[in-house]
Amino acid sequence: MARRLPLLHRVLSQPDSARDLDGADWSRLVRQARTNGLLGQVLNLLAECRNLDTAPDAVKRLLSAERHLADHRKRALLWEADELRRTLAPLGVEPVLIKGGAYIAEGMPHAHFRHFGDIDVLVPPEVLAAVEKRLLTAGWAMSNRDPYDQYYYRTWMHELPPLRHIKRGTHLDLHHTITPRTSRYATYPEKLFAQARQATSHASLSVLSTEDQFLHGAAHLFSEGEAGNALRDLFDLRALLRHIDDLAVLRDRAEELRLQSPLALALRHIERNFPDPSVSKLADAAGRWAHGAQRLDVLYDRVFVIGCERAETGNPSLGKATEFVLNCRGHWLRMPVALLARHLTRKALKQLFSREPSTETVRN
């Protein structure tokens, strides 16, 4: 049962016990944290318990770099969210911030250092068309005009194709629910809106209830087809969980939203990756509401350490097979088989005739 966890997992679980790291340990930790998008978070945790004092100067400078990034990003995000609120106010629509933006608006300490590329908001399905129209007249444009992608998003997904502001370049994902319509984790958007509330630190902005934020995060993480941000997203869930006093409320809500399965997976893997002897209620809860979650250990025990293994070896192609399985699971959860077959055939044919670069091309 006991897996040997990577250094990053151990330091994130118990930063106060990470004393006496040597030069090689710091190298390893920074690399693992960078690959998983958790550098700011882990260095800040270490600084809080004074375990960064003995680090090489370069590591201390990395924390100040992450602080600059985070301060600027936070300011930009809150500005953009407020702008969005003002843009939609004439329609009487209050956009609900979800994912990273919500954590920032809630003033959650872990979220301060979180990297994110776009803003995600949720609006009721019945006003979606009006909101889209309003945004298109306020400087937002579709960043993807491919007719099939447009059709695919609008017919089957939980969000519109990504929008991009023509002047500021900001990316916006406009959601009308939190999981694809055809997903096995499909839920009831009206129930989410019923419990949306003001954000803790920024009362002019709206967020989902803490339980719903957790369940959304879990449903998203455990239907995701890529491993890149998996550990970061799991760490987010662990931080959110600390703001939930009563696990029974969380469980009841999961039942109501039909998200018991992602809840069980989330609790199980938080416990498996960030074990904390002081918190045993989680292990108990995870055990009691297992929902067969343990059957996926083979897959997810790998998924949450792939980033660290890539950092360790410097080899980005490591774990491709695991990612392939993860991708298959993601698609399988997203839509029924017949529809999936149709969609994948379309995608494959399209890819055959146009090869688009997936990563940045060298400049400077």
Partner 1 sequence: MKLASLGLPGLTSTLSSEGIVLCTGRFRYRIRSSAATIAPALAIAYADFELGSSSDWFDFDIRIEPSAGPRALLKPEVGLAVDGASPFEPLPADQAFALLEWGMNWCVTSTAHDAVNCHSAVLERHGNALLLPAPPGSGKSTLTAALAMTGWRLMSDEISRIDLDGASVECICRPVSLKNASIGLIGERFPEAVFTPPIRDTVKGTVAHLRPPGDAVRDTRGATPAWVVIPQFAAGAPVEMTPITDAELVAELAGNCFNLSGVGEPAFRALCHLADRAKGYRLRFGSLDDALLAINRLSEQ
Contacting positions for partner 1 (CB under 8 A): 23-24, 26-27, 31, 34-35, 56, 58-59, 61-62, 64-66, 68-69, 71-72, 75-76, 307, 309-318, 357, 359-364
Q: Give the integer Cα–Cα distance in Å for 227 and 309.
A: 12
Closest to partner 1 by CB, 71 vs 126, is 71
The residue type found at 222 is F
Closest to partner 1 by CB, 145 vs 363, is 363
The residue type found at 134 is R
Q: Residue 45 CB, nearest distance to partner 1 (Å)?
A: 19
Q: Give the integer Cα–Cα distance in Å for 336 and 92.
A: 36
Q: Residue 75 CB, nearest distance to partner 1 (Å)?
A: 7
Closest to partner 1 by CB, 68 vs 243, is 68
The CA distances from residue 221 to 42, 124, 201, 225, 263, in Å, are 20, 22, 25, 9, 10
Q: Residue 186 CB, nearest distance to partner 1 (Å)?
A: 33
Closest to partner 1 by CB, 145 vs 355, is 355
Closest to partner 1 by CB, 54 vs 280, is 54
Q: Residue 74 CB, nearest distance to partner 1 (Å)?
A: 9
Closest to partner 1 by CB, 125 vs 225, is 225
Q: Residue 110 CB, nearest distance to partner 1 (Å)?
A: 20
Closest to partner 1 by CB, 18 vs 266, is 18
Q: Residue 26 CB, nearest distance to partner 1 (Å)?
A: 5
Q: Residue 306 CB, nearest distance to partner 1 (Å)?
A: 9
Q: Are 26 and 55 in contact (CB under 8 A)?
A: yes
Q: Give the integer Cα–Cα distance in Å for 148 and 156.
A: 12
Q: Residue 6 CB, nearest distance to partner 1 (Å)?
A: 12
Q: Give the integer Cα–Cα distance in Å for 232 and 283.
A: 20
Closest to partner 1 by CB, 250 vs 303, is 303
CA pseudo-torsion sign 244, 245, 247, 250? negative
- Pairing mode of beta strands 96-98, 118-122: antiparallel
3-state secondary structure (DSSP) of residue 144: coil
Q: How many beta carbons lie within 10 A of that of residue 181, not counting itself?
A: 14
Closest to partner 1 by CB, 127 vs 318, is 318
Report the b/e string of 193-203 with b at 16+ CB within 10 A. beebeebeebe
Q: Residue 104 CB, nearest distance to partner 1 (Å)?
A: 15
**Burial label, 308 (beta-carbon count in 10 A; 0-12, 13-18, 19+):** buried
Q: Are 290 and 268 in contact (CB under 8 A)?
A: yes
Q: Give the integer Cα–Cα distance in Å for 74 and 112.
A: 7
